[in-house]
Each structure stands twice: as C-alpha cells, then as structure tokens.
C-alpha cells in the first residue's frame, strides 16, 4: 500500500468557460471563444462552442454532491473575467451572487475551492484593443484580480492567477491554433511578458488587499528529454527548458527572469518592451505555491536548418519522435509517468522545494462510449491504470522529499475543450450531450473514491 501525506488534496480541475454554459446570458459579455465560434464555427469540433458546455451555471449544487460522492476534498475551477466584469469595470451583481453561492456550497460540503483567474478566456472588449499585446491588459487584469479577491476572498483561500499561460501565448501567437491565430515570434514574446507582469500585479494586489490565503500559478512545465548527449541536441533541450520551464517558473518562484532567456530573446531580436520598476515587482512578489499540469513529456532534438533570428520555436528546438514511446491508443499522446518523478525532484532541487501540487493529470479518450457496459457505465480501466502509474511516480518523488500537497485530475465531469469540443473525454462522470448534460458515473469515479478514502492505494 502506498500512502500520501496527511491532508493531501484529492480532486479535479476544470474552468469556467469549459463548464458554465450560459456563455452569453446573465450579464456575461463575449470572450474570444464566444466571438470566434460566431465567426468561424467550422473550426470547432462538431460546431460545439462555449454555449454547449455542461451547464454548471445551473447544475453546480448537484455537481458538488457528485464531488462528495467520489471522495473529492478539493476542486479547481476559474472565474470568468467577462462574466464578473462584462466591460472590464462594472461589477455584474448576478455573477457575484452565482460565484459566492458556488464557492460557499463547496466549502459547506468540505470541498476546498481553488480558484483560478484566467483559463484562456480573454474578454472580447479587450481583445479588440490588442489583448495581451498591450500593456493596458496588465492593468485591466490587475483590476479584475483585485475585484475577485475583494468579492470572494472570504470564501476562497487558495488562488491561482493563470492556467497554462504558455498555451494562450503559443497557440494564439506562434502555432495558429487559438484566436487570434497569428504566427509572430516577437509578438508572442511580448504577449508572454505582459502575461507575466499581469500575474505579478495580481499577486501584488493579493498581498496589498491583505488576503489570508495562498496564491500561485498553474503551469504546464512539460519535462523535456533530449534525443542524445550530443551538443546540438543538448542545446535544443536547453532552449526548450528556458522557454517552456524556466520562463514562468523562475520569475514566479525565484524572482528573476533567467539570464539564458534574456540572452535568447536578445540574440533573436525578440526583446519585449518593458517598463521601469518591472524587475523590482518580479523580485518582490513570489508565489506561495505552484500547480503543475502534466500530461506528456516533450522529446527534443536539434532544430533542422535553424534560422537566425528565429522565426518560430522550431528554429530553436525540434520535436523528437522517440521510438520507444508508449502511446495512449485512444487519442495519441505519449504516456510517460516517470516524468512526474523528475518534476518532483526538479521542484525540490531547483525551486527551493516550494509547495506544489499536480493540478492536472489525466487521460483523454475519443469515442469513449465504446467502453460502456450493459448498465450504461463506462468501464475506464485504462484511466485507472494511467492514474495509478502516475501516482506511483509522484509518491516516489514525495518519498524523496518533494513538497507535493495534492493530486488533481483533469477532469471531474467530461467537459468541452476548446476547438476539440467534446472529442476527448476525461471525466469521472460521463456527460450525455443528447440528454440535458446528464451525468453518469464511470468506473474510475468509484476507484477515486477508494483512493481518497484510503489516502493511497495498493500496488
Ligand atoms: C489542458 C487544459 O492542458 O488540457 C484544458 O488546461 C484542456 O483546458 C485539457 O481542456 C485537455 O485538452 P484536449 O486537447 O485533450 O482537449
């Protein structure tokens, strides 16, 4: 039997735009996602958009009962910026009432709310002005953060500023996946810098409003593994580490932007515009904890025909197709639980052993209805095996002294996932899209209950 530390957090993560529904109702204004599906519905799997998410806006009370039913003691979701402050300034009273009741009911049920402020959902009014490309976005976000702390600080004592900030930077400005879907390395770096400063001003607002809880950030610090020990492959790994791991972890935890990152952006003529005083703010406001989302590792090799200055990340490192990789046969990502042990050691050795938790880990499965038994239950043994393998590695990391305080899965109820719609299912509960988003328990939900009740499992 492996046992986790006392008071370990067991739970799941999701986000406002992926679960609430009521995308254009109850005073909420458009986000980029609401607008994008109006403009380009063909980009979205089955034409499903933020209006089609699992209606947590109405169903949250029952969902909280379901959390209790499977032994969760914590849950992360986010606040929708465009719902709380539809024009960026005016408080939407209905949103305040909704979130207050939601968080209060979680607390009453013994579910600790971990509340995140930004999960890829830029308000449209701000995007029209340039979004994260503008310095105005930093101040707008700080105002939103302060408002959220003032309105909900008495109910929430665990906050996060951003979920996976790299995603809106890369997908929006480098790889063409998310709105505005442009490819411009210089803009991507500027967007990254503004996101970083928005994070810091939110932490500053948290300290200045004298909150008594903790604030952190949720990062997808995908561990990297080089093809070989050869200099060029190692250089590629170093570039990937600087951009993917250190770019946010170093400033948020250690209070400094890594010198290698500064050198890299200068060398490639990507230097962002900064403001006097930024450095001091970065130094003064470290986070209290880190959340790490881990799905799969990144394997890298030397870039082929790299250009200088770099036009995109493929000029700095290339993806390596490791021949020995084990794949998730139901959607195609690599499965490599060992990385969680490596991450545990990295947090211990390189980041002052700061408190951290696994804020997302899970297995997406397409066409999951094929695993439904005669009683209508999804028998997702593959998911149980996936999580046990990862938990075993995490446990090894904790035994080695890493300061990990919880394990959250992605996700609780199958949820809408951006352009992928409902293609990849991750939940402990299946959601029936043809039947008013009815939820039904999967086998993994039963397993999770036992896991959290025992605070561990038999290996
Ligand atoms: C995570 C994001 O990285 O991946 C979620 O935080 C997202 O918002 C999840 O839904 C699953 O992504 P996908 O690509 O499998 O649908």
Q: Which band of pLDDT confidence, cut at 50, 70 and 90, is reported for residue 119?
A: very high
pLDDT given at position 394 = 98
Instruction: Based on the residue annotation, tell me whether 164 is a catalytic residue of this protein.
Output: yes
The three-state secondary structure class of 161 is: strand
* DSSP E strand boundaries for 119-249: 158-163, 214-219, 224-226
Quick one: 2-454 is in which CATH superfamily?
Glycosidases (3.20.20.80)
The one catalytic residue in 158, 170, 360, 368 is 360
Alpha-carbon distance of 28 to 250, in angstroms, equals: 35
pLDDT digits (tens, 9 = 90+) for 308-318: 999 999 999 99
Instruction: Based on the residue annotation, tell me whether 360 is a catalytic residue of this protein.
Output: yes
C-beta of 185 in contact with ligand 1 (< 6 A): no
Cα 426 to ligand 1 centre (Å): 9
| Closest of 70, 143, 83, 76 to residue 103, by C-alpha | 76
Q: Which band of pLDDT confidence, cut at 50, 70 and 90, is reported for residue 247?
A: very high
Query: Which H or E run includes 318?
Result: strand 318-319
For ligand 1, atom 10, the nearest C-alpha belongs to: 417
C-beta of 233 in contact with ligand 1 (< 6 A): no
Cα 28 to ligand 1 centre (Å): 23
Q: Which atom of ligand 1 is nearest to the CA of 410?
A: 9
Do the beta carbons of residue 232 and residue 302 sit within 8 Å?
yes
pLDDT given at position 14 = 98
pLDDT given at position 426 = 98
What value does the mean pLDDT take over residues 9-35? 98
Cα 417 to ligand 1 centre (Å): 6
Spans of all domains in the chain: 2-454
pLDDT digits (tens, 9 = 90+) for 391-419: 999 999 999 999 999 999 999 999 999 99
Q: Which atom of ligand 1 is nearest to the CA of 333?
A: 15
Cα 278 to ligand 1 centre (Å): 31
C-beta of 417 in contact with ligand 1 (< 6 A): yes
Sheet holding 224-226, edge to edge: 224-226, 298-301, 318-319
The ipTM (two decimal places) reads: 0.96
């Amino acid at each position: 039997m492996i046992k986790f530390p006392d008071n370990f957090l067991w739970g799941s993560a999701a986000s406002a735009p992926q679960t609430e529904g009521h995308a254009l109702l109850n005073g909420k204004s458009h986000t980029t996602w609401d607008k994008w599906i109006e403009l380009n519905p063909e980009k979205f799997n089955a034409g499903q958009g933020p209006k089609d998410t699992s209606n947590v806006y109405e169903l949250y009370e029952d969902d909280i009962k379901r959390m209790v039913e499977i032994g969760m003691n914590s849950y992360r979701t986010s606040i929708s910026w465009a719902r709380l402050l539809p024009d960026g300034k005016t408080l939407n009273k209905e949103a305040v009432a909704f979130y207050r009741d939601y968080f209060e009911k979680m607390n009453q049920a013994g579910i600790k709310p971990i509340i995140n402020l930004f999960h890829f959902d830029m308000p449209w009014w701000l995007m029209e002005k340039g979004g994260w490309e503008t310095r105005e976005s930093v101040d707008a976000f700080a105002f939103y953060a302060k408002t959220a702390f003032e309105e909900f600080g008495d109910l929430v004592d665990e906050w996060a500023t951003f979920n996976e900030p790299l995603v809106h930077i890369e997908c929006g400005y480098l790889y063409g996946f998310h709105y505005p879907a442009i490819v411009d390395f210089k803009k991507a770096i500027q967007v990254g810098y503004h996101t970083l400063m928005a994070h810091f001003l939110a932490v500053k607002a948290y300290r200045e409003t004298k909150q008594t809880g903790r604030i952190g950030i949720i990062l997808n610090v995908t561990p990297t593994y080089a093809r070989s020990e050869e200099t060029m492959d190692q250089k590629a790994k170093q570039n990937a580490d600087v951009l993917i791991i250190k770019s946010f972890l170093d400033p948020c935890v250690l209070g400094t932007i890594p010198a290698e990152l500064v050198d890299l952006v200068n060398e490639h003529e990507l230097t962002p515009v900064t403001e006097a005083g930024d450095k001091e703010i970065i130094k003064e406001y470290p986070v209290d904890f880190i959340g790490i989302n881990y799905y799969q590792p990144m394997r890298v090799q030397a870039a082929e025909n790299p250009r200088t200055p770099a036009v995109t990340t493929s000029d700095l490192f290339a993806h390596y197709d490791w021949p020995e990789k084990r794949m998730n046969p139901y959607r195609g990502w690599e499965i490599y639980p060992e990385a969680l042990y490596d991450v545990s050691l990295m947090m211990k050795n390189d980041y002052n052993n700061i408190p951290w938790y696994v804020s997302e880990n899970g297995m997406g499965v397409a066409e999951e209805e094929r695993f439904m038994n005669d009683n209508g239950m999804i028998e997702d043994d593959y998911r149980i095996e996936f999580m046990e393998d990862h938990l075993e590695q995490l446990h090894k990391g904790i035994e080695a002294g890493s300061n990990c305080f919880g394990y959250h899965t992605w996700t609780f109820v199958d949820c809408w996932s951006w352009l992928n719609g409902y293609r990849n299912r991750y939940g402990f509960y299946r959601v029936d899209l043809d039947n008013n988003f009815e939820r039904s328990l999967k086998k993994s939900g039963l397993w999770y209950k036992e896991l959290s009740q025992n605070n561990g499992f038999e290996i």
